[in-house]
């Protein structure tokens, strides 16, 4: 039914849709990158084992490449955990309290996580700058590349946390209006 209040919620619905779409796009890109990295990591390790034990001529770089890919997969996948609510939290404590207190406690934990992620991202950028002058042992690439997972994953987690928290806060308000 169309009324004077029906256009009032239209921008919020549009913004919710926009943020949901952004979150989904980020998540799909991250999951594709993780899947590709996992496939490449598996192939790299298989090649390393084959060359070492069958050809008896090991490559010195296969372990280092797989290590860096594993670090990137773990770092990137954390943003998807934030989106899905699968990151480490103190759920038993939140679930122990009544609904209103649990909501406030959950919000407080999100604020703490937000602060941690801001610090992680901020100092991660500094870490990348510090590691520009160092090279890896086997690949002889700048250590800034493997270390750059820290600010990249921190920023992705921040984006997902803000979106998920916004959606939770606005859906809570919508739930109250409909009740």
Q: Provide the pLDDT for residue 3.
A: 47
Q: Are 87 and 114 in contact (CB under 8 A)?
A: no
Q: Can you read off the two tokens belonging to residue 135?
A: 């090279």
Question: Binning pLDDT at 50, 70 and 90, where does residue 5 land?
Answer: very low
At 158, list the tokens.
Answer: 């921040």
Q: What is the pLDDT of residues 75-104, one digit of tens each?
A: 999 999 999 887 766 666 777 788 888 888
- pLDDT for 179: 33
Q: Please identify which residue in the block is written with the tokens 């109250």.
A: 176
pLDDT score, position 100? 85
Q: How far apart are CA 148 and CA 68, in angstroms?
A: 11
∠ CA 166-111-153 to the nearest 5 degrees?
Answer: 80
Contact of 155 with 79, CB cutoff 8 Å:
no
Least confident range from 18-32, 100-114, 128-142: namely: 100-114
pLDDT for 175: 47
Per-position DSSP letters for 78-99, written without gaps between them: HHHHHHHT-S---HHHHHHS-H
| Average of per-residue pLDDT across 153-160 | 97
Instruction: Note the pLDDT tens digit of each residue in 48-77.
Output: 999 999 988 888 899 999 999 999 999 999
Cα–Cα distance, 101 to 106 (Å, whole number): 8
Task: Note the pTM of the prediction, 2 decimals.
Answer: 0.82
What per-residue confidence (pLDDT) applies to 146?
94
């Amino acid at each position: 039914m169309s009324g004077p209040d029906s256009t009032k919620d239209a921008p919020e619905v549009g913004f919710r849709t926009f943020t949901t779409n952004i979150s989904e796009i980020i998540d799909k890109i991250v999951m594709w990158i993780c899947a590709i990295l996992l496939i490449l990591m598996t192939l790299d390790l298989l090649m390393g084992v084959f060359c070492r034990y069958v050809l008896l001529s090991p490559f010195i770089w296969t372990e280092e490449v797989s290590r860096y890919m594993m670090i990137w997969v773990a770092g990137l996948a954390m943003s998807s955990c934030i989106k899905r609510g699968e990151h480490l939290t103190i759920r038993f404590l939140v679930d122990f309290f009544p609904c209103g207190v649990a909501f406030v406690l959950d919000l407080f934990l999100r604020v703490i996580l937000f602060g941690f992620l801001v610090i992680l991202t901020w100092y991660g950028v500094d870490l990348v700058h510090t590691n520009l002058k160092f090279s890896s042992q086997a690949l002889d690439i700048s250590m800034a590349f493997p270390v750059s997972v820290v600010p990249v994953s921190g920023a992705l987690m921040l984006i997902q946390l803000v979106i998920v928290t916004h959606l939770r806060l606005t859906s809570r308000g919508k739930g109250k209006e409909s009740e």
